[in-house]
């Protein structure tokens, strides 16, 4: 039984680790999206300040061009992270299912042991009567 308890603890640890990874990826996505939105505001402000809204214009602000590139990089990173998030959620689901199987096996074994113990006690009572 000791090895089963160790296995259950291991499975719970694995589920917790995968849950932390999902949370970490979700936080990164939220942070990148927040930064991209902030860059959108900065680009708009720079365009309004310069009066030039066409990125192809020769006098388009350099800062706005750099901010646009950074924003696009962040958006690509968010797309990549969303793929990683899907994989991490799938791995979490699998780890959770494995943990549940081990817990159910342990519960079944404990119920069988209790039933055997009760049967032994009943047999002992029958003999003494």
The CATH number of the domain holding residue 51 is 1.10.287
Residue 125 within a domain: no
pTM for this model (two decimals): 0.80
Residue 38 within a domain: yes
**CA distance to 11, 55, 64, 112, 127, per residue, from 86 (Å):** 21, 35, 33, 39, 62
Nearest to 77 by CA among 38, 42, 35, 40: 35
Residue 126 within a domain: no
- Per-residue pLDDT tens over the stretch 3-54: 888 999 999 999 999 999 999 999 999 999 999 999 999 999 999 999 999 9
Number of structural domains in the chain: 1
Range of the domain at 92: 2-103
What is the pLDDT confidence band of residue 129, given thresholds at 50, 70 and 90? low
Residue 122 within a domain: no
Residue 99 within a domain: yes
Residue 79 within a domain: yes
85 CB contacts (<8 Å, ≥6 apart)?
22, 25, 26, 29
Cα–Cα–Cα angle for 13, 15, 17, nearest 5°? 70
- Per-residue pLDDT tens over the stretch 91-114: 999 999 999 999 999 999 899 989
């Amino acid at each position: 039984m000791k090895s089963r308890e160790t296995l259950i603890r291991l499975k719970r640890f694995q589920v917790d680790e995968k849950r932390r990874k999902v949370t970490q990826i979700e936080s990164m996505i939220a942070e990148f999206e927040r930064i991209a939105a902030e860059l959108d505001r900065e680009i708009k402000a720079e365009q309004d300040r310069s009066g030039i809204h066409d990125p192809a214009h020769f006098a388009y602000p350099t800062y706005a061009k750099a901010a646009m590139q950074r924003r696009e990089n962040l958006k690509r990173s968010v797309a990549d992270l969303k793929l990683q998030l899907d994989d991490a959620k799938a791995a979490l689901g699998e780890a959770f299912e494995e943990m549940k199987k081990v817990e159910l096996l342990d519960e079944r074994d404990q119920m069988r042991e209790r039933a055997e113990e009760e049967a032994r006690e009943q047999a002992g009572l029958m003999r003494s009567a």
